[in-house]
Amino acid sequence: MLAAQILKRIVREGQIRVVDAEGKLHVIGPGPGPAPTIRIHDRRLQRQLFFNPKLHFGEAYMDGRLTIEDGTLYEVLDILTRSMAELESHPLQRLQQIVGRWTHFIHTHNPVGRAQQNVAHHYDLSDTLYDLFLDKDRQYSCAYFASDNDSLEIAQANKKLHLASKLLLQPGQRVLDIGSGWGGLGLYLAKLAHIDVTGVTLSTEQHKVSEQRAKDAGLSDRLRFHLRDYRHQEGPFDRIVSVGMFEHVGTKHYREFFRKVKELLTEDGVMLLHSIGRMDPPGSTNPWLRKYIFPGGYTPALSEVLHAVEDVGLWVTDIEILRLHYAKTLREWYRRFQANRDKIRALYDERFCRMWEFYLVGCEIAFRNLGQMVFQMQIARRQEAVPLTRDYMIDFERAFQTRSSAAA
């Protein structure tokens, strides 16, 4: 089997047992450790895995053409990704990387209209689905684990307070939340400080929920949400925050994004950008993830983001890198997803469940083995817009801890 021969060349850690379509067992890797068993159910898949494993492995798992008989999906992906550098050195994979870089700008072209279609693909799924694996506030982004003992709810509250500490909030300020999701962050900030918050989203389902949440909280006079592309928003705003949205902007639109940020900010304004990124140089999106989960999505290298910020003429006043916080977040999402798997299957079907299992586990592995991380970048129009030291962030978190718990 061609795929098995490739695996035998690249797997340098752990061991995987592969049963091919003819029933022949292939033992791959030196061990020790877990030795999960994969069964391939048709001959066509054996050829597909040879030519494009990054796409067809996930597709086959979704369709049941590839099953795991001993061990777990996590163990399989962990072993394979620890050998990813060896796989990508193969001539066929190098060729696909070159093609991927050439087509990258096509896949991440997200003008007004297409951007909304891409968002709808993922975020306009059933509200019930997200309730079954997210925290109660539906924070669908990296949590902040101050302690290994933090629950997901506590870690997401930590994240919101951590973001607020970098915004230097003052009563009466106007705040814009770009990519406001289900409204949780906007609601939190409006409760935490007496400020006016506007959120914009491209998801019709998220907009409907967030508007209702603002109404139910009695905050509609200073908390509102719009179904609107950020490029159509008018300002000015004292503060801008964007969490988990920049991954959907698209590389060719980065300067457009930051030009709009600069236009919307007051002269002393501050923005906080929270996004998934990569510690590697610029690359392309995994083809399975792009096709089935996040069409138009891409996690940027810091060099790509900083280059766009520099060109627009904004100050980067602080950067923090969160490394394994998202891996811990994804593990908890997966645990809750599995605990409610029967309910999710009733909403959709078995194929959907297997697709999301592959998505959640694969993303956790990417943060552990493949250089994915989260960055929080503070940006301003003027270098004097924020204090010269970072002490104000710690002081804010300590001063607002009690109020934060109530807001969360």
User: Are 58 and 129 found together in one domain?
Assistant: no
Q: How far apart are CA 375 and CA 276, in angstroms?
A: 6
- Domain extent at residue 62: 2-89
List the CATH number of the domain containing 24.
3.30.1050
Same domain, 221 and 80: no
Residue by residue, DSSP assigns 126-175 as -HHHHHTTS-TT---S----SSTT--HHHHHHHHHHHHHHHHT--TT-EE
Q: Which positions are catalytic?
A: 363
- Residue 144 — pLDDT band, cuts 50, 70, 90? very high
Q: Is residue 105 in a domain?
A: no
Q: Over the stretch 238-295, which tens digit does the pLDDT of each residue have?
A: 999 999 999 999 999 999 999 999 999 999 999 999 999 999 999 889 999 999 999 8
Q: Are 124 and 211 in a shared domain?
A: yes
Indicate whether 106 belongs to any domain.
no
Say yes or no: 39 and 186 in one domain: no
Tell me if the pTM is above 0.95. Answer: no
Query: By percentage, how much of the chain surpasses pLDDT 70?
Result: 90
> 192 with 300, same domain?
yes
Categorize the per-residue pLDDT at 34 as very low, low, confident or very high, splitting at 50, 70 and 90.
confident
pLDDT greater than 90 at residue 108: no
| Contact call for residues 6 and 51 (beta carbons, < 8 A) | no
Q: Residue 223 in contact with residue 215, Cβ under 8 Å?
A: no
Of 35, 54, 89, which residue is a domain's last? Answer: 89
CATH number at 390 reads 3.40.50.150
Give the per-residue pLDDT at 130: 96
67 and 185, same domain (yes or no): no
The answer to whether residues 356 and 319 touch, using CB atoms and an 8 Å cutoff, is: no
Question: With 70 as the cut, is the pLDDT of residue 92 above it?
Answer: no
For the chain, the domain total comes to 2
Out of 89, 123, 139, pick the residue that ends a domain. Answer: 89
Q: From CA 193, how far away is CA 310, in angstroms rounded?
A: 31
Could you give the count of Cα atoms lying within 13 Å of 77 in the half-sphere of its Cβ? 22
- Identify whether residues 218 and 290 lie together within a single domain: yes
Do 82 and 118 lie in a common domain? Answer: no
pLDDT at 96 over 80: no
Angle between the 204-216 and 114-123 helix axes, to the nearest 10 degrees?
70
Q: Is 378 within the bounds of a domain?
A: yes
